[in-house]
Amino acid sequence: MKRNNKQIELYQDAFDFLLDGDHELVVYGVLKKLHIRRDNPYYEDLVQEGMMAFVEKYIQAINLKKEPGSYLLFIYQGVYWYILDCLRKEMRHRAGIEEPTDEKDLMLELEDKKKSVGFYDAHIISDELRNQLSQEEARYLTLAYDYGMNISEIARECHASRTTVYKWRRGVINQFQK
């Protein structure tokens, strides 16, 4: 029950932030940037979708412990991508492209990559390559290949500069080419 009250308070804070000052203009700014005018039949729906996306992004910013000064930029980007996604869905719907429904489990339709020859080949190659790498290069390979981290994330994780991480990447590439 306590968790529910905290969530309610967080949503209330998010709506208060939206209505405070001119923060609603973020949603209208996104619509303007996307060239959606008031005469668009979906304008009011998109405004409401944008307001809900604003609230969700505000809560996400709080949970990610973003700096209060960067809230609006983070929220603007989130609302922009959400509205753009809504527009894409509408275009696909109009074009007759089938949208996935919640009734189908799409994961069951995917092939199991762990049973494929390519999966085993890639892991054998990466295991052999790891044996020829320095400890830092091997850690780079693990974080980049297995965890899908980018250069900045790896630098943060390893407490190293991006330049150092690029050197590790070059070392991995050189060993792989040998």
In the chain, where are the structural domains located?
2-95, 110-177
Query: pTM for the whole thing?
Result: 0.50
Phi-psi category of residue 90: left, alpha or beta, with phi > 0 → left and psi -120 to 50 → alpha: alpha
CATH annotation of 110-177: 1.10.10.10
Q: Is the dihedral of CA 68, 44, 88, 11 positive or negative?
A: positive
CATH for 2-95 (1.10.533, 1.20.950, 3.40.50, 1.10.1740): 1.10.1740
DSSP 150: -
Interaxial angle between packed helices 162-177 and 117-131, expressed in degrees from 0 to 180 and rounded to the nearest 10: 110
Tens of pLDDT, residues 8-54: 887 888 888 778 877 888 888 888 888 888 888 888 988 889 889 88
